[in-house]
Amino acid sequence: MKPLSDIHLSMLDLVAVREGSTVANALAIALRTAQHAESLGFTRYWLAEHHNMSGIASSATAVLIGHIASGTKTMRIGSGGVMLPNHAPLVVAEAFGTLAELYPGRIDLGLGRAPGTDPHTMRALRRDRVETEADFPRDVAELQHLLGPATPGQRLIANPGAGTNVPIWLLGSSLFSAQLAAERGLPYAFASHFAPRLLLQALDVYRTHFQASATLAEPYAIVGVPLIAAPTDDEAEYLASSTYQRVLGILTGKRGQLPPPVQNFMQGLHSQERAAIADFLAVAVIGGPQTVREGLESLAKVTQADEFMMVSDVFDPALRLRSMTIASEAMASTAPAVV
């Protein structure tokens, strides 16, 4: 088992819009949160692409990455992820190539193959495009080509983009991206913060079939972790009720803005609802400092993760920063080499 001090700690931000607040405030909170993450020594700060959701303000992901990168100094900033079926590879290469020129050595390009939205919005994003299973591997290869050095006679060149070699990560919650990341020798992030069922199987597929590449000599895996920490287990459980409400909304198709915490929320639910939330949050770590450390140690033991990427939906922004601090202290993080 890797000691916690050898595991990187990072953060994925969905840029939640809180009930009674605004998008502008959500964006301001995201920047303050990233700055706090940097002060704690977090390795990277990623932003997720979602569309047509009133409670999430990260739809223009590349624009937001530039905003966060401009307000931080050293931490890697990236996408967790860009939903590649929604975009032409050339447009992605130019956007992230521009970011790489503005913030050299700090930009990550995480790619997913889900739409990140509902079917109606998906049609608005893709127009008449019909996706096939072969599209995602082909688009990933095109992006790698566009972000690599331009070759003599190359007719299509991303400018900016060519020669920036922006690191590409494959993201997923199934075995498809795990297999593809292994074949291409790319780093891999599993979305266990919302779909943990295939976590261990996907990590096994990735590591078993990994082929070294010019990008990566050995497999490197990020595990998504819903994480809420507080001084006591009871307070952490209370704060987590915002997450429980958000998850129940996802499961019932009633998405909205991030709600404030509610005392004893889970006890008021039907057993089937509690079970569904528990399945969704199967790898969540929620509690006081000792509980958080034990939870992370247990997760490290079963996953052998190289990096934990926390998702922390705490309603009060100040308590979210406190949660990050407690998590960082629980990790007793040193500074292993950055991928």
pLDDT in tens, 208-218: 999 999 999 99
- Specify the fold of 4-331: TIM Barrel (3.20.20)
Is the Cα dihedral 139, 141, 146, 147 positive or negative?
A: positive
Task: State pLDDT tens for residues 295-314.
Answer: 999 999 999 999 999 999 99
* DSSP 8-class letter at 129: -
Average pLDDT over the chain, rounded to whole?
A: 93
Question: Do 41 and 73 contact (CB within 8 A), yes or no?
Answer: no
Give the whole-angstrom CA distance, residue 82 versus residue 304.
26
Element containing residue 111 per DSSP (H, E): strand 107-112
Report the chain's terminal Cα–Cα distance, integer Å.
Answer: 20
Residues 6+ apart with CB under 8 A from 248: 254, 269, 273, 276, 277
Give the whole-angstrom CA distance, residue 268 versus residue 273.
10
Domain coordinates in residue numbering, the chain? 4-331
Is the Cα dihedral 201, 207, 211, 213 positive or negative?
A: positive
Task: State pLDDT tens for residues 209-263.
Answer: 999 999 999 999 999 999 999 999 999 999 999 999 999 999 999 889 999 999 9
Query: Is it the case that residue 127 has pLDDT exceeding 60?
Result: no
